[in-house]
Structure 1
Amino acid sequence: MTFVLASTISRLVQRGNLTMTFSDGRSMTAGDGTGKTVHIRLNSKRAERGLVLDPAFYLGHYYGTGDIDLVEGDMYDLLETVFTGNPDFKYYDSRWNRLLDRGRYLLRWLRERNGVRRSRNNVQHHYDLTGALYDLFLDEDKQYSCAYFENPEQSLDDAQLAKKRHIAAKLAMGRPGLSVLDIGSGWGGMALYLARYLGAQVTGVTLSDEQYAVSRQRAKDAGLDQEVNFLLEDYRNAPGSYDRIVSVGMFEHVGRPNYLTFFRKAASLLKRNGVMLLHTIGRTDAPTTNNPFIEKYIFPGGYIPALSEVMRAIEKSGLAVVDIEVLRLHYAETLRHWRERFMARREEAKALYDERFCRIWEFYLAASESAFRWQNLVVFQLQLAHDQQAVPLTRDYLERGEGCLKAREGDGKVRPGAQKFPQEASI
């Protein structure tokens, strides 16, 4: 196994500066000596076998168990070296790895068949970790999804505010009092924003006990508990009829077998002249299988879709796509902020859990950033409607709407002279 692994690393890293020490004490170097120095040590034969047989899973797994250590550099430095060391060589494109991915792809329906009970268990696995953990690295509003960076120097808090503003503008809410359903409402930030600055009546649904409790308390503390109502409920059981529907960072948990169910339910809840905005991670290549490490340790039952998979379900649901925006690298920058914040407060995270947990989360954050920066992941924002005239014919209204919202944010409330939002202009 040592010979096979050394041969693979030599081909994979032709630029960079990587040293690998094997479990028998022997070392090798790869790369041209440029860039950051990275030294990885394999402490067991099983770690060597794992990196040969299934590196997508075992690199993170054995880093978590301590079978792999980083002597110099950190996990992000290692992944940068791996992903940029030789763009023409793909370690995961070997015959064995293609066979492995094919097997996982064939079993995808079993892993992603998320019924109501299983969906709740999956959500609780990740989102019902102590809120103190998320306080270590998220922004003040606890937005756990891709931010929107209007410029490279923007802070995380400002970029997350810009994300909410950008989404709110796309909802084309021309007057206060519109009813909104927030599917996957998280810690309540999006719902509270729409109520505070657009006068919306918002219903948020979540499956996380932790998020449900926090969001209800936030609404009460903000004096918006009459405008915002949070439910501990599955989207399939969401009640009512709505002028607008928004879903941010939830669709990744739906699972392919439920895509048509999701969009048909949304279509039944959305009024005929309504608008829906779906914000989801997506991939720019063909449908595939989920990352096995993320599946086991981070988001069980989740899947990141290709656009073709999403469109196929929308086409059968009765909804129409009226606009699509692809956010490139915005999530890479979001994850960079999260990773750096987490690492700066790593000892606090260790006090909450343990060293193994911290290692797994180090890998999760570094690998996720790498996937958005050097691989095939992006964010899709899909604007959906029953009626193609539900939104203006050009995107000019977005800039006007965001400008209006910035003014309202400055005031901290909906200004009396700004009740009519620009999007309501006739088309």
Structure 2
Amino acid sequence: MASALFSLVTKLVRKGSLKLTLASGETHMIGDGSGEMVAIRLADQQAEDAIARDPTLKLGEMYMEGRFILEQGDIYEFLSLVKQNTTNEIFDLRMAALLMGRIVWQQLKSRSPINRNKYNVAHHYDLSAKLFDLFLDDDWQYSCAYFVPPGISLDEAQVAKKRHIAAKLLVEPGQRVLEIGSGWGGMGMYLAEANPGLDFTGITLSEEQLKVSRERAAKRGLSDRVRFELQDYRYMAGRKFDRIVSVGMFEHVGIGAYRRFFKKVSELLDDNGVMVLHSIARPKPSFATNAFIEKYIFPGGYIPSVGETLPPLEKAGLLVKDVEILPMHYAHTLRHWRQRFVARKAEAVALYDENFFRMWEFYLAGSEMGFRWDELFIMQIQIAKNQFAVPDNRNYIGEREAKLREFEATRAPLEKIVF
């Protein structure tokens, strides 16, 4: 009987060089012979059949389990080869039905009144802090870096990201600042040290991040004005902030909650306040998250388009003052993370196991591929309540970044986190 996977792959891959060894032992050369060869092997018939039935989910699962084996090249090179052939992608009725079912299910979940935010966050961010230390920069920035100028190191690019956001945020000494999704505290400490007297509140749903953030702030003597709370943004009340920043958190809000998110921002933001929202985005709506990412990495997550983001923002009475699109910067960031992670494979396996290592490698490789070939990007949206809250030109961004560089030159080095 003909292999369903072989049939699918030959329809899909027309260019490049792919060596496919099926579970039966049959070997096929697929593609036009161009580029570097990628060689894969299926360990058993069940794995082969599973991938043919549902490649979006099962490819990652079979790689995780060591049943989809790379004999030449790595998982990123395989995914890139496939993605460069997407103009030939074939969808049959069965795959269309799978996709539609996932869209309906994720749309329903995102609108469910049951609050799963803390569970979803804990699933990813409450993993061992030692895991993130394997691949992040010294400040533990787990969001897209800003590679300006091109070719700078990951650590330099993460500082550049904080600098760029701080400049757009127009922070002044003594102001009250809220960060929605405060990570491991790096942005809050940067803003506080750059602006004497600033009062900072960072909120997170991750108990691991909360613990690390508080320890870091205490070590730098900032606990009196840099506070971190285990808090869901939806239930904050009774406080107003001059500035609000959110970096890499909006992807976890869920498409059904955008109106509520921006309504809460409007409640919390002072009438003369400014917000900067930094988020992954896509060029058009997708309505559902990749099945593997949804199941294993970011349950409840959704990458919005700009067009899905702006209407609920405007309905909340907020003004869009600036939109900047940062293409490719996350691809560069993810490549640094993946290379660092793979270089420390033994430590990752010791923390968890081989399956976990391959799961995480697949996630990093697939995400990088998305930014290089699926046209994903970062959007930075500057938001205000009145049109006079920010200058009428963008010259201030460069001017403020120059002043922040002066601050960075005198800033005490970040201490390595010790476990």
- Residue 13 of structure 2 is matched in structure 1 by 13
- Deviation of 1:111 after TM superposition, in Å, equals 2.8
How many residues are paired up? 410
Q: Counterpart of 2:227 in 1: which secondary structure?
A: strand
- The answer to which of 348-357 and 23-32 deviates more is 23-32
Residue 98 (structure 1) aligned with residue 96 (structure 2): yes
Instruction: Give identity over the alignment, percent.
Output: 50
- Deviation of 1:229 after TM superposition, in Å, equals 0.6
- Deviation of 1:12 after TM superposition, in Å, equals 2.3
- Deviation of 1:257 after TM superposition, in Å, equals 1.6
- The answer to which of 107-116 and 353-362 deviates more is 107-116
- The answer to which of 222-231 and 132-141 deviates more is 222-231
C-alpha separation between the residues in 1 aligned to 2:324 and 2:29? 43
Q: Counterpart of 1:109 in 2: which secondary structure?
A: helix
- The answer to which of 315-324 and 352-361 deviates more is 315-324
Q: Counterpart of 1:88 in 2: which secondary structure?
A: helix
Preserved CA contact (<8 Å) 2:143 2:248: yes
Preserved CA contact (<8 Å) 1:282 1:380: yes
Q: Counterpart of 1:288 in 2: which secondary structure?
A: coil
- Residue 416 of structure 2 is matched in structure 1 by none
TM-score, normalised via structure 1 length = 0.93
- Residue 81 of structure 1 is matched in structure 2 by 81
C-alpha separation between the residues in 1 aligned to 2:150 and 2:31? 30
Q: Counterpart of 2:228 in 1: which secondary structure?
A: strand
- Residue 284 of structure 1 is matched in structure 2 by 283
C-alpha separation between the residues in 2 aligned to 1:63 and 1:83? 17
Per-residue Cα deviation, 1:200-221 (whole angstroms, up to 9, x for no partner):
2110000001000000011110
TM-score, normalised via structure 2 length = 0.94
- Deviation of 1:95 after TM superposition, in Å, equals 4.0
1:7-406 residue pairs with structure 2 within 5 A?
Answer: 7-84=7-84, 86-91=85-90, 93-113=91-111, 117-173=115-171, 175-199=172-196, 200-239=198-237, 240-406=239-405
- Deviation of 1:238 after TM superposition, in Å, equals 2.5
- Aligned partner letter, 2:129: G
Q: 1:294/1:2 Cα in 2 relative to 1: closer, same or farther (>3 Å)?
A: farther
Q: 1:114/1:179 Cα in 2 relative to 1: closer, same or farther (>3 Å)?
A: farther
Preserved CA contact (<8 Å) 1:147 1:156: yes
C-alpha separation between the residues in 1 aligned to 2:229 and 2:113? 18
Q: 1:48/1:14 Cα in 2 relative to 1: closer, same or farther (>3 Å)?
A: same
Per-residue Cα deviation, 1:135-167 (whole angstroms, up to 9, x for no partner):
000000000000001033110000000000000
Per-residue Cα deviation, 1:22-56 (whole angstroms, up to 9, x for no partner):
11111111122232221111112222222222211
Q: Which runs of 5+ in 1 are unaligned?
A: 414-427
C-alpha separation between the residues in 2 aligned to 1:373 and 1:114? 33
Q: Counterpart of 1:107 in 2: which secondary structure?
A: helix
- Deviation of 1:89 after TM superposition, in Å, equals 1.2
C-alpha separation between the residues in 2 aligned to 1:314 and 1:262? 9
Preserved CA contact (<8 Å) 2:325 2:377: yes
Cα RMSD of the aligned pairs, angstroms, is 1.5
- Deviation of 1:103 after TM superposition, in Å, equals 1.8
Q: 1:114/1:412 Cα in 2 relative to 1: closer, same or farther (>3 Å)?
A: farther
- Aligned partner letter, 1:254: V
Preserved CA contact (<8 Å) 2:4 2:49: no
C-alpha separation between the residues in 2 aligned to 1:392 and 1:115? 40
- The answer to which of 61-70 and 96-105 deviates more is 96-105
Q: 1:116/1:140 Cα in 2 relative to 1: closer, same or farther (>3 Å)?
A: farther
- Deviation of 1:256 after TM superposition, in Å, equals 1.4
- Deviation of 1:80 after TM superposition, in Å, equals 1.4
Per-residue Cα deviation, 1:351-389 (whole angstroms, up to 9, x for no partner):
000010001011000000000110131111111111021
Preserved CA contact (<8 Å) 2:284 2:307: no
